[in-house]
Amino acid sequence: MKHLAFIILASLAISCNNAPEKSSKNNYLDDSNREDRLSGGVRMIPIKTPSGEFKVWTKRVGNNPTMKVLLLHGGPGSTHEYFECFDSYLPNAEIEYYYYDQLESAYSDQPSDSSLWNIDRFVDEVEQVRTALALDKSNFYLLGHSWGGILAIEYALKHQDNLKGLIVSNMMSSIPDYVKYANDVLGPQLDPTVLAEIRAMEAKGDYTNPRYGELIFTHYYPEHVLRMPLEQWPDPVNRAFARINNDMYVAMQGPSEFGVVGNAKLKNWDRSKDLSKITVPTLTIGGAYDTMDPKHMEWMATQFPDGQYLHCPTGSHMSMYDDQETYINGLIQFVKEVDQRNQ
């Protein structure tokens, strides 16, 4: 009996020793030690600006100590909402990520202060958000889409020591080159009658004419912004467009959909000669039907010392929707490859 009892106890000990450890997926979903647990991952982060202190909205999804992605939306003045398609992919890849509405956008404070609408001030905001979220070189990936790509490049040029990886999505490194591409390549692809009517209104500065918006939305957007019939556009995209801060968008980007015109603050932005200064692993993403020149974005990847390019063959400016599998799987692969290098 003593021998039998010993065998039973030994078996139990072996069984306990071989009990499976808490799975990584469980760890990914475990918010028990996170200070934002009560609010479901949401934090309103105080931001100091020359005009005083304001708060910006962020929301964390998941837990991963070495892979954390901060998402910079486009516009300027759009919202985090169109990134919501990432919920279908990134949790399964166990990548922690942060939604974030920039100041003057959606859930963040909106002081309506145009003196704050400049690149340097936004870069400083991103740095304050990074600090508050405790992101650092061991885990911090920055993804910027469209205007967010401009902001991501500028952030990297100033603060790349904080970055583990950089993703520049659907954004060229030169606004003058973008304007040329829009006028010389994309415009002529429109029906000549439609283009002539658009050009006539632009010549008069008649951008607020409802007809201008109608022509752009029905003829240009479904070809180069999101290649789906407008009535099929996903809800997160529609919500982001409905919430856009148009005053800030026009002040920085301008009213034209064929480049940047007038006194728009981004009109002369060009970092094409500075890309070589960004030495962290960098992924550029472009769509074949993008509002941005995919060849330029492919070229950008060759200028970064540690760059690579992801081409979305059926994608446009919102390639995360109209070439979703290519876009998000390529993003996941990049993040994980960089993470593996550092192990």
Catalytic sites, residue numbers: 146, 290, 317
CB-CB contact of 215 with 197 (8 Å): yes
| Gap between the Cα atoms of 278 and 197, Å rounded | 42
d(CA 108, CA 44): 8
Cis omega (within 30 of 0) for bond into 192: no
- In whole angstroms, what is the distance from residue 161 CA to residue 31 CA? 28
- The structure tokens 């022509």 sit at 215
Cβ neighbours around 314 below 10 Å, total: 14
Question: Which burial class, exposed, middle or buried, applies to 38 when counting CB atoms under 10 A from its CB (0-12, 13-18, 19+)?
Answer: exposed
| Identity of the amino acid at 59 | K
Alpha helices by DSSP H, listed for the chain, are 2-17, 24-29, 119-133, 147-159, 175-181, 192-203, 210-215, 221-224, 235-243, 246-252, 294-303, 319-322, 324-341
CA distance 291 to 269: 17
Contact 215, 49 (CB under 8 A): no
Q: State which amino acid sits at residue 216.
A: I
CB hemisphere CA count around 113 (13 angstroms): 14
CA distance 258 to 183: 6
Query: At residue 195, what is the residue type?
Result: L
